[in-house]
A and B are shown apart, each in its own frame.
Chain A
Amino acid sequence: MIEIFYIITQILFILSIFFLPTLLVDENYYSRSLKFTFIDKLSINLIFFINILFFASILNVKLNYILYGYFFLIIILSFINLKKINFSKIKIDYLFLLLFLFIFLISIDIADQIYFSWDAKTNWIFKTLNFYQGQKIEDLSQFNFTDYPHLGSYLWSFFWKFPHGTHEYLGRIFFVFIYLLSIISFSNCLRVNVFEKVIFSILLISLSYSYAIFSGLQDVLIFSAILFFARISYLIFDKKNNLGDFALVLILIGIINILCWFKNEGVFYSFFLLFSLIAAYKFSKICKLYLILGSASIFLLRVFLFNYYNVDLNPSYFEMEKTIYLDFSLILYKLKTITLYIIIYLTQSPTYVISLPILVYLIYKYSVKNLIRFILYFFIFNFIFIYLTYMFKMTEVELLIKASMSRVIFQTSGLYFLAIIIYINNYIKLFKR
């Protein structure tokens, strides 16, 4: 029974971290530009909090100091803004209730199944232990896979350590929070009432959830970051919102930064998302400049930190030299193998089975513009990336595909939910007429 208490208090602790700052922000601050929902505000807090944790990790700030500093700041700001905080305005948010309920349900699943997948027990848990046991970022060099980013493990260790510091799975509950928040935030793109959004969210959770994604792997973080990016992109494309885009650009840069530090492939996904968005949406020159400069700084920071800590990419991932010596029979064999497995894994993933036919329908029915163009560009980049990833590997291609392709496909599946959103919103529009 004590573990149920741990789980509930862990959830309350996570929610309080992201809920408290929303009280401090005046409603008018948002309405000047656009209406963010309560869930959106939680998402924005999450993105900025993860960015704070990232900078704390590279500056080797102790985990306790981050927590104390964060709460100290909130308490000070609360006192300063005490008059502005109006508790009577707080209403029941059904999406928030859904978030709480499903975090609890999935936490029970994690607490029971508890096991780690292969990558988690050989790599991610050791990075997590490093931070949990008070070590620094440079101490990561003693482990295998030094070129794997550390941010996901850092988050895991933070929420493992606080508030209880007992079982490691309590830290993974934070991954559940990110996953659910991204889905529920994304459901806000629908132009329906709140109950229908709840239904849509539960359906998306049912389509994408399995214990395996929380078995210590970091792919779910990539999935969620891309889903947050999709939500913000939707707001950007939404004609109703006539903001200067700058606030959203800042959030996008925050998402790109965390994407780059969850996993190595996140760097590529960031580039694809960024390029697809800039190509599909007419940003003002200044916003485009902010976006490009911001992203370039993030990529440069990554290169700088890798050089600073003498981290080299593992050459066994990509055997480019051998690939450049063209052997057509081998290339054909690899193309055939990759295509076969892509088809197999796509058909095994319910999210693709539903969203890809809808995307094809949208392209056929409407012209390729705006959001559809954004999704299409990303789709092309994404699949070229998958092919190239496995093409550059000379040996064990099939084995590597069997071990990793389903996860690679899962990582980006969230963005294609946008096709479902466009379809439903267009249908509702027609229905209302």
Chain B
Amino acid sequence: MNKKIKKNFCILLISFLTLIFIYNQNLFRKAYNVTKLTYENRISQASGFCSEDSVGYLVYLKKKFNFNFNPAVYNYEDSVPNSNWPIYDNNLKNNSNHKILLNYPEQIELVFYPKENNFYTEKTISFGEGLSEIYFDLKVPSMNINSNLVIYTKSYGTNEKEIIYNKPFNELVKNHQRIKFPYNTLKVNSVIYKTIFLDIKNLEKNKINNIKIVIKNQFDINELEILDSYNRQCYYVK
């Protein structure tokens, strides 16, 4: 009898623990999703249709165009690896004339915020070709700047600088006034562990909210033939 009670108690406990596991992992809801939503819908929900990894858009393109080559994929999303796995086929040749641009921005912009002796941005850039414009968000109507403007990256946890731009900057700057700033360099493309800093000596930082730099895009959508697009953010072009 004792053994039977013990066995029943164990079975009860096993059922209880299993139910807790199911409840904690929300498995009833997930089972419902698996039965009701298609694979494409679920993967779009998990990795974004035209956001984050944009796996949904890649799967959609693969279905629609049935590629017989591997188009080049460029994802502009910040801090997301550039991955083309949903459409990649080892048996096909790469064709970089056909491009898929994911999360394509109207304008690539770096916003530098004041920090101790300089300005910094945590954003990373992947497909920039150089600097284009600069403008200041000021607390005052205007201010005069006569100094060198230095933009550099620094690896996380080190003091080794890599200079992106270092030239004199002598301008009377008005609030939100866009100043042409053309300079071609691929060094502006940064990675997650390399913060970009901006330094202007003898600057009254307390008068500045932030400094914005517009980056020249490597791919100008107006110069490419659009074969498919979604929401003005994801494009298939050649």
Contact = CB atoms under 8 A, between A and B. Distances in A.
Interface stretch (A132-140, A255-263, A284-292, A422-430): A132-140
A202 interface: yes
Contact of A203 (B10, B17, B160): B17
B97 interface: no
Interface residues of A, number: 43
B39 A199 contact: no
A282 B65 CA distance: 65
A126 B85 contact: yes
A398 B10 contact: no
B156 A1 contact: no
Contact of A105 (B27, B53, B90): B27
Interface in B36-75: 39, 42-43, 46-47, 53
A109 B30 contact: yes
Contacts of B78: none
A205 interface: yes
B17 A206 contact: yes
B25 A396 contact: no
Given A133-B91, A198-B14, A395-B160, 19 more contacts: A3-B35, A4-B34, A101-B18, A111-B42, A115-B47, A116-B47, A116-B85, A118-B81, A121-B53, A122-B81, A129-B90, A135-B91, A193-B10, A195-B10, A196-B10, A202-B17, A394-B158, A395-B155, A398-B156
Contacts of B21: 102, 105, 202, 205-206
Contacts of A1: 35
Contacts of A199: 10, 13-14, 17
Contacts of A118: 81
A394 B21 CA distance: 42
Interface of A: 1, 3-4, 7, 101-102, 105, 108-109, 111-116, 118, 121-122, 125-126, 129-130, 133-135, 139, 167, 193, 195-196, 198-199, 202-203, 205-206, 209, 394-399
Nearest to B82: A122
Contact of B157 (A122, A139, A198, A398): A398
Contacts of B34: 3-4, 7, 108, 111-112
B25 A109 contact: yes
A1 to B, nearest CB: 5
B113 to A, nearest CB: 20
Contact of A396 (B24, B42, B81, B193): B193
Contacts of A130: 90
B83 interface: yes
A139 B18 contact: no
A10 to B, nearest CB: 13
Nearest to A133: B90
Contact of B14 (A116, A202, A209, A398): A202
Nearest to B14: A198
A195 B34 CA distance: 31
Contact of B156 (A105, A126, A139, A395): A395
B11 interface: yes
Contacts of A101: 18
20 contacts: A3-B34, A102-B21, A108-B27, A108-B30, A109-B27, A112-B34, A115-B43, A115-B53, A121-B81, A126-B88, A133-B89, A134-B91, A139-B90, A198-B10, A206-B17, A206-B20, A395-B155, A395-B157, A396-B193, A398-B156
B91 A202 contact: no
A108 B34 CA distance: 7
Contacts of A394: 158
Given A1-B35, A4-B35, A196-B10, A202 B18 contact: yes
Nearest 7 CB-CB pairs, A to B? A195-B10, A112-B30, A115-B46, A121-B83, A133-B90, A202-B17, A122-B81
A129 B88 contact: yes
Contacts of B91: 133-135
Contacts of A111: 30, 34, 42
A205 to B, nearest CB: 7
A105 B25 contact: yes
A126 B85 CA distance: 7
B166 interface: no
B158 A395 contact: yes
A395 B53 CA distance: 28
B172 interface: no
A129 B70 CA distance: 13
